[in-house]
Amino acid sequence: MSFKMRKIFFLFPFYISMLGQETLKDTIQPKRQNLEEVIISATRNVRQFSSIPLPAILIGEEEIKNSGATKLIEILVEQAGIISVPDFTVGGEEGIQIQGISSDYITILIDGVPLIGRNSGNFDLSRIAVNNIKQIEVVKGPSSSLFGSDALGGIINIVTNETLPNKLSGEISHQQGSFGLADSNLSFAKKNKKFGYSVFLNRYSTNGYDLSSELPGKTVDPYINLTFQPKFLYDFSEEIKFTQSFRYFYQNQNIYNGDSEEKDFYSHSLINHKVSENWKIKYELYTTQYNSFQELNFSDNPNASQKTTFDQKLFKPEIRINYNPIAEKNLMIGFGGNLESLDRNLFKEKVKFNSNYGFIQYDFYPSKKLNTIVGVRYDQHSEYASQLSPKVSFKYFIKDNFSIKGSVGSGFKAPDFRQLYLDYTNSTVGYTVLGKTVEKQGVDLLNQNNQLLNLYIPINELGGVLNAESSTGYNFAVSYKKNSFFTEINLFRNDIKNLIDTRILARKINGQNVFGYQNLNSIFTQGIEINSNYKGFDKVTFSFAYQLLYSYDKDKLSLISKGEVYSRDPETLSSFLIGKQDYFGLPNRSRHSSSIKISYNSSDDKTKINLRVNYRSKYAMYDTNGNDLIDNFDSSFVNGYSLVNTSFTQNLSTKLSLQLGSRNIFNYKNPTNIPSLSGRQLYINLNYNY
């Protein structure tokens, strides 16, 4: 499998150059179907979705509404090749994976600007309400050539409504469901000749749930959150248009023995300047902040009480220049800066990052059937080595309904503040974690105070540079469309190196370890994605997606082939040598995953029913037999499972609709291994448009 794929990838440059030289006189322009469907984040320009040379998913407003989703995570995990995974680093303990890469490595954007607030590396996707979303765009594979750091595995862009109605209109909706779910939405918008506005308001609350009553507290504690997103438009002239958006988010959770609060805020200003027919300039100013606060109080042990704070700020100006002489040629040049700061109680002091960047992208048709996009971005950073992130992609229409596309791109994720600046000693257990920049002085200090029993890393090897984690992604897809049938098969491979992990620096006299961060592992993920749909039946649409995934640590593979890895017989507990066939791969990765959707739409469009099934095969959580990798003899495997969601929508009048639905209708639960699964949730949703 891996051999075959490598061969294909090797052919990439050859394909590109071969097709590039071809002169096609009598070819037809790729057929423009579904003119409505456009994608913005793939090129940072409005592009027709069906012609885009990158692996991408588009989720439209109607699909979001029909699914009954309230939070971004709910709608994402139903998409082809995106799977929901238990993730213990975020509050809700649910994360996602794209092509085997977790959401730590995926940039989350609203209207093209990044959201911040990754408390422990991951972004909590339940922070985003979906009711005002026009579409969600997912671009798979490294995208740092446009978006810089964090876009190592891909990006998710949320597009809010841009075209505003001339007459005041809006929507009021309310969803009430099991576990005390109450989700209320209010939105309205209007545009005069020059001035327009839209306002979105969401309130969400839940009582949480408890899967294991014998443990104190609930599995998920009750919480409430509010989202307020106003947007203003002003057209100074036909040529100069101004947009100003704000977002304010507040969440409060009553956690066991304490209280937890999260806030985020942004202001996003954009001026579109049409200098001439061919030249357009976008001036963007983005400023955002994220605060979280947690307080734990123990009445029996007041000394163990603790407060955690996390205050992050980002200021980001950017200018993008587009030169667009003809419809099929677009040159974009952009540059900007990031000024970032983080104040956290686990840091000695407030820390700051500065970075400047520039990027260039050329999107053109070397021949009428061939679209090519080449781009590169350069990031210069105050704390780590500069990054150059190139990307090349192409799409070639062999026939009108038969096309191939491929891309090679690079991505990176900068070391985060925690990995650089953390200086933390656990007060109850007594271990210490040191960020890279404070590693040497931290160990020195412990040594001077006679706190160290022994050093595992020589003192002169401490400190030094932590490199950005970086990836190279390859995608190659074949798409075929006939009548109402569409299918796309994509082969992918992502090579990721310099993954940052903790290592033990020293042992303290209390027996606990001193941990530091280090670039350690090289991994890869590869596989096949199949995505098909059939719209041939009168009222029923059927779609099917499947992903085959292999993901391994390269160093572990080489240790195994050298015959240095042993496992333990689960019965006798004695060691034996293992081979490659026994290595299951990285934790939390399923070999197979699939999603099936069936939807029914009555001919008068008044009744809609859908059924969505999401499956993932077995996976392992962690090593249990001491060899530091997942082999077939480990005992932490979680059996494969399916989640089934369904909803029924009935339009009661042109303005009023009623929806009944169920998430996880078969009530699948696994309290020990998947605490993010609450069990069956029924809901009712009323929606009024005006």
Partner 1 sequence: MKQSIFLNFFYFMSAAFFIVSCSKEENTTTLINLSKTYEDLYAPQGGGRGEPISGEFTKFDLSTGHITADPEGWDIAFRGTAIAINGGSPTGTLDEPPRNGNGGATFVSGTFESVTVAPSNFSEDSSEGFAIPGGSGNGWYNYNPQMRMITPIPGKILVVRTRDGKYAKIEILSYYRGAPANPNPMADASRYYTFRFLYNPNEGSSSLE
DSSP-derived letter for residue 597 is: E
Residue 456 binds to partner 1 (criterion: CB under 8 A): yes
Which residues, in sequence order, are CB contacts of 151 under 8 Å at separation 6+? 106, 107, 142, 143, 144, 411
Question: Residue 454 interacts with partner 1 (CB under 8 A)?
Answer: yes
Q: How far is the CB of 623 from partner 1 (least distance, A)?
A: 7
Contact window for partner 1 (CB under 8 A) among 261-269, 404-412, 570-578, 608-616? 570-578
Told to check if 444 binds partner 1 by CB under 8 A, we report no
CA end-to-end distance (rounded Å), the chain: 55
Taking CB under 8 A as the rule, does residue 256 contact partner 1? no
- Candidate list 624, 642, 651, 689; residue touching partner 1; CB under 8 A: 624
* Per-position x/- string for 482-511, each x denoting binding to partner 1 as judged by CB under 8 A, each - no binding: ----------------------x--x-xxx
| Min CB(515)–partner 1 separation in Å | 9
Q: How far is the CB of 416 from partner 1 (least distance, A)?
A: 19
Using rule CB under 8 A, residue 13 touches partner 1: no
Report whether 372 contacts 391 (CB < 8 A): no
Q: Cα(132)–Cα(88) distance, rounded to whole angstroms?
A: 29
Report the chain's C-alpha Rg in angstroms.
26
Residue 626 sits in the site that holds partner 1 (CB under 8 A): yes
How is residue 583 written in tokens? 């290595």
Our finding on whether 428 is near partner 1 (CB under 8 A) is yes
Q: Using the rule CB under 8 A, give the single segment among 188-196, 465-473, 490-498, 560-568 that binds partner 1.
A: 560-568
551 contacts partner 1 (rule: CB under 8 A): no
- According to CB under 8 A, which residues from 308 to 367 bind partner 1? none
Q: Does 567 bind partner 1 (CB under 8 A)?
A: yes
Sole binder of partner 1 in the list 169, 635, 667, 673 (CB under 8 A): 635
Q: Does 571 bind partner 1 (CB under 8 A)?
A: yes
- Give the three-state DSSP class for 146: helix
Closest contact distance (angstroms) between CB of 633 and partner 1 is 9
Q: Which residue among 574, 581, 603, 654 contacts partner 1 (CB under 8 A)?
A: 574
In degrees and rounded to multiples of 5, residue 83 shows phi and psi of -120, 150
What DSSP assignment string belongs to 421-443?
A: HBEEE-TTT--EEE-GGGHHHHH
Checking phi first, is residue 450 left (phi over 0); if not, alpha (psi -120 to 50) or beta?
A: left
Position 88 contacts partner 1 (CB under 8 A):
yes
434 token code pair: 């040191």
Nearest distance from residue 628's CB to partner 1, in Å? 6
- Please state the closest distance from residue 622 (CB atom) to partner 1, in A: 6
Tell me: does residue 278 bind partner 1 (CB under 8 A): no
Tell how strand 637-638 and strand 619-620 pair up: antiparallel
Count the site residues for partner 1 by CB under 8 A. 36
Instruction: Kindly report the backbone phi and psi dihedral angles of residue 610, in degrees, each rounded to the nearest multiple of 5, phi listed first.
Output: -140, 155
Contact call for residue 461 and partner 1 (CB under 8 A): no
Contacts of 639 (CB under 8 A, 6+ apart): 618
- Taken as a whole, the chain contains a residue count of 690
State which residue, 510 or 561, has the beta carbon closest to partner 1.
510
No. of helices (H) and no. of strands (E), the chain: 7, 41
Using the rule CB under 8 A, give the single segment among 6-14, 423-431, 539-547, 590-598 that binds partner 1: 423-431
Task: Examine residue 570 and tell whether it contacts partner 1 (CB under 8 A).
Answer: yes
Cα→Cα distances 419→118, 349, 440, 632, 682, Å: 13, 15, 14, 32, 42
214-233 residues near partner 1, rule: CB under 8 A = none
465 binds partner 1 (CB under 8 A): no
- Scanning the structure block, which residue is given the tokens 């260039």? 360
Q: Cα(686)–Cα(176) distance, rounded to whole angstroms?
A: 9
CA distance 69 to 86: 19
List residues binding partner 1 (CB under 8 A): 88, 427-430, 453-454, 456, 504, 507, 509-513, 564-568, 570-577, 622-628, 635
